[in-house]
């Protein structure tokens, strides 16, 4: 590598969509500038922070990181610092006001404009802020990453129209925009020809996807799933995240007809109390959620479900929490993402009186996570001696003919095979679990 080459560094916080956005940023810069990417921020002339606003004190985390980078800029005035992602959309000019050494603030929908902002910054030495929400522009300017894996995530929509009272996403990601149907199909077709076997569809509410083509033909999420399943070599389809309100019967029927859709679903419920769901502005009831799960289990008897939970939401009583624990046990969730409620600035819930003290919140979270852990253990034990289809994605360099693959329910399996099975989906018999990995025997 040429020592004179200029480099950029990206630090990413947040979900898989943020991870994908960082991949897009990297590809856009490589394609449109002379900069190359580095994993060492000390080498970089451009420092990019792609932020997330979901967790508590996201802003403080941002400014702590910027403080560390300020020292680098004091040593080299030519360093450009750019802040993007959800906190950038949320805070905008406030970032520059508090950290005047930041050069660029870009939004979740304007990351493709970053090369132009950098060029103008170098030419004019001005601060640039662009946190607008241009419709479809991001998708139209998407530069696809080089495929070096058998499983890949792709965005199919962005934004959210639900406005849950606790959530900042509609304000930082904008309203729902669906990527054109044929763009998605063409993208996945190209990936399948390069060896991809599994795709994961990304979006804040993937099952609210809808696209209308030039002939006025409408495509729903269920139609998209069925069309992807018809692409040669695509053997697995995942998606994240879904909303119960949009989990309609046409999507459930896909589980009955389309084996490529995995037998694992992440469907956030947030609380087991109808009262709390109403305060959260989650427009479904526990009864409706249970009906969805019942229908899914009829369509796909072996399906496993994971979910999200917020503990200690304003107004949550001990009785409300008991209802959450009851639904956890009844549905027998396999895994969960669970958090203590903390107010996000600017959301309706931040105006509610926080009635649960932090000690009680931590206690409830511990009880919930202990139960989920118990249920994960149940599902793990159930896998022993079962037959599992795994996507083989890794070889063990130190051990010849040993491989690692992933099951539909996100478990890693270590096994031996004399033939080269890298990149294939094969059936193994699970023999035991050791530490955090299962061991299997090829069938």
Q: What is the pLDDT of residue 3?
A: 57
Mean pLDDT of 175-202: 94
pLDDT given for residue 214 in this prediction:
77
Q: Which residue, among 150, 178, 191, 202, has the nearest Cα to 14 in the 3D structure?
A: 202
80 DSSP β-pair partners: 46
Is the Cβ–Cβ distance between 433 and 441 less than 8 Å? no
pLDDT > 80? residue 346: yes
> In this predicted structure, what is the pLDDT of residue 243?
96
Q: Between 221-229 and 181-193, two packed helices, what is the crossing angle to 10 degrees?
A: 20
User: Which class for 167: exposed (0-12), middle (13-18), buried (19 or more C-beta within 10 A)?
Assistant: buried
pLDDT tier at 141, thresholds 50, 70, 90? confident
Distance of CA 187 to the CA centre of its chain: 19
- Across the chain, mean pLDDT equals 92
Q: Look at residue 33 and tell me whether its pLDDT is greater than 80.
A: yes
Q: What is the reported pLDDT for 53?
A: 79
Percent pLDDT > 70 in the chain is 97
- 311 membership: H or E segment, kind and range: strand 304-311
Pick from 36-50, 126-140, 248-262: least confident:
126-140
CB within 8 A of 128, min separation 6: which ones?
A: 103, 104, 105, 106, 117, 120, 121
| pLDDT average, residue stretch 301-330 | 97
Instruction: Say what the pTM is.
Output: 0.89
Helices (H), strands (E): how many in the chain?
Answer: 14, 21
- Looking at residue 127, its pLDDT comes to 92
User: Is the pLDDT reported for residue 195 higher than 70?
Assistant: yes
pLDDT at 318 > cutoff 80: yes
What's the confidence (pLDDT) of residue 198?
97
Residues facing 49 on adjacent strands: 11, 83
The predicted pLDDT at position 4 comes to 66
Q: Across residues 238-250, what is the average pLDDT? A: 96
* Placement of tokens 């921020």 in the chain: 41
Q: How far is CA 96 from the centre of its chain?
A: 28
Q: Look at residue 146 in the predicted model and tell me its pLDDT.
A: 56
- Please list the helix, strand and coil fractions of the chain in percent, rounded to the nearest 5, in that order: 40, 25, 35
Q: What was the pLDDT predicted at 172?
A: 86
> Is residue 59 predicted with pLDDT exceeding 80?
no
pLDDT at 1 over 80: no
Mean pLDDT, range 361-365, rounded to an integer: 98
CA–CA dist 85, 92 (Å, integer): 10
Residue 2 has pLDDT above 60, yes or no: no
**CB within 8 Å of 310: residues ≥ 6 apart:** 166, 270, 271, 280, 338, 339, 340, 341
């Amino acid at each position: 590598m040429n020592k004179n080459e200029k480099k950029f560094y990206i630090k990413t916080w947040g979900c898989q969509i943020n991870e994908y956005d960082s991949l897009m940023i990297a590809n856009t810069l490589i394609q449109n500038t002379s900069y190359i990417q580095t994993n060492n921020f000390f080498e970089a002339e451009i420092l990019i922070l792609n932020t997330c606003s979901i967790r508590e004190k996201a802003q403080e985390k941002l400014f702590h990181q910027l403080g560390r980078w300020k020292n680098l800029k004091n040593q080299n005035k030519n360093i450009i610092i750019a802040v993007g992602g959800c906190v950038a959309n949320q805070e905008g000019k406030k970032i520059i006001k508090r950290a005047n050494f930041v050069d660029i603030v870009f939004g979740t929908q304007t990351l493709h404009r970053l090369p132009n902002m950098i060029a103008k910054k170098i030419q004019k030495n001005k601060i640039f802020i662009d946190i607008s929400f241009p419709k479809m522009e991001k998708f139209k300017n998407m530069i696809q990453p080089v495929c070096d894996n058998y499983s890949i995530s792709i965005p199919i929509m962005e934004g959210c129209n639900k406005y849950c009272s606790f959530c900042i996403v509609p304000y930082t990601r904008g309203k729902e925009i669906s990527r054109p149907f044929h763009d998605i199909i063409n993208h996945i077709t190209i990936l399948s020809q390069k060896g991809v076997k599994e795709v994961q569809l990304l979006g804040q509410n993937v099952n609210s996807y809808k696209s209308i083509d030039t002939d006025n033909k409408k495509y729903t999420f269920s139609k998209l799933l069925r069309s992807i399943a018809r692409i040669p070599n695509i053997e697995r389809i995942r998606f994240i995240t879904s909303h119960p309100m949009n989990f309609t019967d046409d999507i459930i029927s896909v589980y009955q007809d389309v084996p490529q859709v995995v037998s694992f679903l992440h469907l956030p419920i947030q609380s087991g109390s109808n009262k709390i769901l109403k305060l959260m502005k989650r427009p479904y009831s526990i009864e409706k959620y249970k009906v969805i799960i019942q229908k899914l289990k009829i369509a796909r008897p072996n399906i496993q479900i994971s979910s999200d939970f917020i503990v200690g939401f304003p107004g949550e009583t001990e009785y409300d929490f008991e209802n959450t624990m009851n639904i956890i046990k009844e549905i027998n969730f396999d895994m969960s993402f669970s958090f203590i409620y903390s107010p996000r600035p600017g959301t309706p819930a931040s105006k509610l009186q926080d009635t649960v003290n932090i000690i009680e919140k931590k206690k409830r979270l511990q009880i919930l996570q202990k139960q989920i852990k118990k249920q994960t253990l149940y599902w793990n034990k159930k896998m022993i001696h079962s037959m599992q289809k795994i996507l083989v994605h890794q070889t063990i360099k130190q051990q010849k003919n040993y491989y690692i693959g992933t099951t539909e329910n996100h478990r890693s399996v270590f096994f031996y095979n004399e033939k080269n099975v890298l990149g294939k989906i094969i059936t193994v018999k699970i023999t035991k679990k050791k530490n955090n990995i299962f061991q299997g025997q090829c069938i």
